[in-house]
Structure 1
Amino acid sequence: MALTSPKDTSLLLTIVSALRLAITLPGIVVLCFARRLRKSSDYSLKNDILLAVIRSLGWMPLSIRRRRAKRDDLAAVRNSFRFSKADPELGKKVSRPNFEGYWVCRGSINGTKECLSQSKVTLLWIHGGAYITGSALAALVPLLRIAELAAEQNLSINIFTLEYSLAPEAKFPTQLNEATAAYKYLIEEEKIDPNSVFVLGESAGGHLALSLAYNLLQQGLPRPGKVGLLYPWANLENSGTSFETNKYKDCLDKGDVDRCADWLVGGDGRSKFADFMNFASSPPRKGLRWSQVLPSTWVIIGGNDVLVSDVCKFVDEARKDGVSLEFHIEPRMPHGWLGWYDALAEKQFLQLSPADDASSVMPGSELIAKVICDHGYVYGGREL
């Protein structure tokens, strides 16, 4: 019988992908065993195999990859034990001709609002996903946990998350234009003090956060008060040495990351937007300095991340150029580990009542909240 609907096509793709994975899985397991016999691993056998499986999924149809990465069930969060009595505007969508996004919270998650311009911190969250997957509300639960922790420190916080267009349908600089428009919305329409804005991006969102900071200076717009980068994709050329040294230690595969970069910039994009391709290269660009581009900046990445060498180069260049920058490499951790920890704990967290103690349930969110609250931060029992 012929396939007659997108649903039928999606089902077929899912079946074919599952069969292919089932066929390749035994070979992946054998290779993991062989590598472990030659050299000790930083991971358990289970996690070693899991990372290898994730690295092998670059062939998977984009529609399935996006479905796997989609974790934005707003209704489920609103109906959860934890947030059933939260502000009814939780997750309110903002749609303008040049960008879309969502308010996770505005001053409070319990419905006691205050003027946006009076809140002490406004977090502009930019999600990751190699520019090809992910969504603005994928990190909704961790962001809500951050808001809870800020409230415990008597810090009023706004959290806005950007829904940028994905590649390959949308090429760069579409995403940059959307991020810039969202930032202007915050400081111009909502009258939020730029100095109170904390731009926080993860992975590809880290690259977009850096691009945004650079673009703001070029456009003569005020820079944010702080920038945070979680395992940022600092170099779209993917030329760092850790792509080789960490290729069996991380969840990212160079071939797949290269393909994502090609989908993003396409054609002559690499030369046309050369200023935004490699933030690990030496400044200045067009006479600008990193100290002009970046405010106080916080960067964290895992030691087993394939991006770590490029991130180290970026950090060195920014510091040499006068940027006040906190940097931490967490040993033996792969790309995106903070998000993994929280994703695994989301179901447990949402089953707690608002009065239940959620300490240590979502360690990634707790780390970020401590940075936002400017109380220093501790991870793994150590002051970072």
Structure 2
Amino acid sequence: MLKMPTTVVVTEPLGIADKFSIAWRIPLLVFRCTARFIALYLSHGEASKLHWRQKLALAYLQASRVTLTRKQQAQNRKRLTGPRIQEYCRRHRLKHRAITVHGATFSNERRIPDPVLHFVTAPVPQPGGPTIFYSHGGGYHNPIKAEGHVPFALQCGSACKAQQVVFLEYSLSPEHPYPCQLVQAVAGLRHLLEQEAIPTESIILGGDSAGGHLTASLLTHITHPSPYAPPIDLRGGQFKAVLLVSPWMAMSEEQISVLPQAHDDFLTRESVVRFWDMFRPGLNEVWSNRCDTRDTVAVWKRLFPSGHDHAISHKAMLAVGTLEVLYESCMGFGLDIGFDCVYVDSPAGLDSVRETDLVLAVVPGEAHVQPALDSALGYYDGMMMKAIFNFLRSC
């Protein structure tokens, strides 16, 4: 029997007053969404580069944030990641199987819930192709956005001719703070390597936002084992690729406090602070905070050494949009590690992404995890999306 992660989602039920509040807020939401869409459409800044569907998605998220109350927004957490993926696969007739990974182990004195791996086979699977092991974003607090994350990851699978995409269902904060998710990611990867017998060279590690941070934490654990989970021995193998989309890398209080007010992004500095407070990262630990200290940068340089010899992965990409609240932290991290910076604003930039092994892909005018927003509206022609697909086709 499938056992789901025992995350207890703390959301109070909506009363009559709350439901009435939502009803009268709907016209206000429509008005604000329309006003914001017009503002983005008439913008002469970098946001003007966006397609109208991209502007519409941003406008809706921005309007929702300022219109709905925190309690109303929290209702979205009632349905967890597993049921969302299962429902998406059912509606789109995708082959799906879920496996509970038992014995995720203990962390200090806290019991870590067993994670669940969701194996999703694309409509046209490629036998012998790679496996994408994907961790979704959401500030470690929100479940997967199935209509955005799942089709985006599946399109990534099509680009690299993958045979399957495996989504990690991890527990959520504040019910389960750091390092719970790291322990679960380690258990998930060990299951793929040992129980599914998938070669390291056939695995692509990917994640966006908090999922990008989790992927980075997992990589750090491999070369610099944490005390929270068993080590992972790759036996000299290398991953096929690593993909970090708008990763949340800034984890210290100082870094969080100086995040800019990115007015064209839907993610705000205040939201990042709130997610950080619930996640409660270990600020002096390389598996949690990997920016701004010599020790953490040194660990990551061992993951991707100069000249790319003996790197943990054949290829790696960090993709970020210039509208993002996390833009500067992603740029600082990528440049500190030694990734080659490529501005993706032309066909030449897309070609450079394909030809670069360790690439920091900077996309003018795009927002936080833009490909997931695009995928939710069925738009697959955004520059960050095309850059990621080009990168994966070259793997």
Moved more, 50-59 or 68-77: 68-77
C-alpha distance in structure 2 between counterparts of 1:335 and 1:345, whole Å:
17
Aligned residue number for residue 101 of structure 2: 96
1:209, CA displacement in angstroms?
0.6
Aligned residue number for residue 286 of structure 2: 275
1:317, CA displacement in angstroms?
1.0
Conserved? CA contact 2:212–2:246, under 8 Å? yes
Q: Does 1:122 align with 2:138?
A: no
Kindly, what percent of the aligned residue pairs are identical? 19
Residue pairs, 1:153-164, within 5 angstroms: 155-164=161-170
Residue pairs, 1:1-384, within 5 angstroms: 9-10=13-14, 12=16, 15=19, 18=22, 21=25, 40-41=44-45, 42-43=47-48, 49-50=59-60, 52-56=62-66, 59-61=69-71, 63-66=74-77, 72=84, 74-75=86-87, 77-80=89-92, 83=93, 90-97=95-102, 98=104, 99-105=115-121, 109=123, 119-135=128-144, 139-150=149-160, 155-219=161-225, 220-221=231-232, 222=234, 224-237=239-252, 239=255, 243-244=259-260, 246-265=261-280, 269-271=281-283, 274-285=285-296, 288-292=299-303, 295=313, 296-319=315-338, 325-345=358-378, 368-374=388-394
C-alpha distance in structure 1 between counterparts of 2:297 and 2:29, whole Å:
49
Query: Cα distance 1:146–1:317, how it changes in 2: closer, same or farther (>3 A)?
Result: closer
C-alpha distance in structure 2 between counterparts of 1:8 and 1:125, whole Å:
30
C-alpha distance in structure 2 between counterparts of 1:20 and 1:211, whole Å:
43
Conserved? CA contact 1:342–1:365, under 8 Å? no
Aligned residue number for residue 112 of structure 2: none
In the alignment, structure 1 segments of 5+ residues that lack a partner are 1-5, 347-359, 376-384
1:329, CA displacement in angstroms?
1.3
Query: Cα deviation per residue 1:215-261 (whole Å; 9 max; x = unaligned)?
Result: 111235326332111111111237279832x5211101111210111
Conserved? CA contact 1:95–1:101, under 8 Å? yes
1:147, CA displacement in angstroms?
3.8
Aligned residues: 332
C-alpha distance in structure 1 between counterparts of 2:297 and 2:36, whole Å:
47
Helix, strand or coil for the counterpart of 1:284?
helix
C-alpha distance in structure 2 between counterparts of 1:40 and 1:141, whole Å:
31
Query: Cα distance 1:199–1:370, how it changes in 2: closer, same or farther (>3 A)?
Result: same
Query: Cα distance 1:146–1:328, how it changes in 2: closer, same or farther (>3 A)?
Result: closer
C-alpha distance in structure 2 between counterparts of 1:131 and 1:51, whole Å:
18
Query: Cα distance 1:317–1:297, how it changes in 2: closer, same or farther (>3 A)?
Result: same
1:292, CA displacement in angstroms?
2.7
Helix, strand or coil for the counterpart of 2:366?
coil
In the alignment, structure 2 segments of 5+ residues that lack a partner are 1-9, 105-114, 226-230, 305-311, 341-355
Q: Provide the aligned C-alpha RMSD in A.
A: 4.1
Query: Cα distance 1:308–1:211, how it changes in 2: closer, same or farther (>3 A)?
Result: same
Conserved? CA contact 1:230–1:300, under 8 Å? yes
C-alpha distance in structure 2 between counterparts of 1:122 and 1:328, whole Å:
23
C-alpha distance in structure 2 between counterparts of 1:258 and 1:297, whole Å:
28
C-alpha distance in structure 2 between counterparts of 1:237 and 1:19, whole Å:
39
C-alpha distance in structure 1 between counterparts of 2:266 and 2:324, whole Å:
8
1:53, CA displacement in angstroms?
1.9
C-alpha distance in structure 1 between counterparts of 2:56 and 2:146, whole Å:
29
1:324, CA displacement in angstroms?
5.0
Query: Cα distance 1:96–1:7, how it changes in 2: closer, same or farther (>3 A)?
Result: closer
C-alpha distance in structure 2 between counterparts of 1:343 and 1:69, whole Å:
18
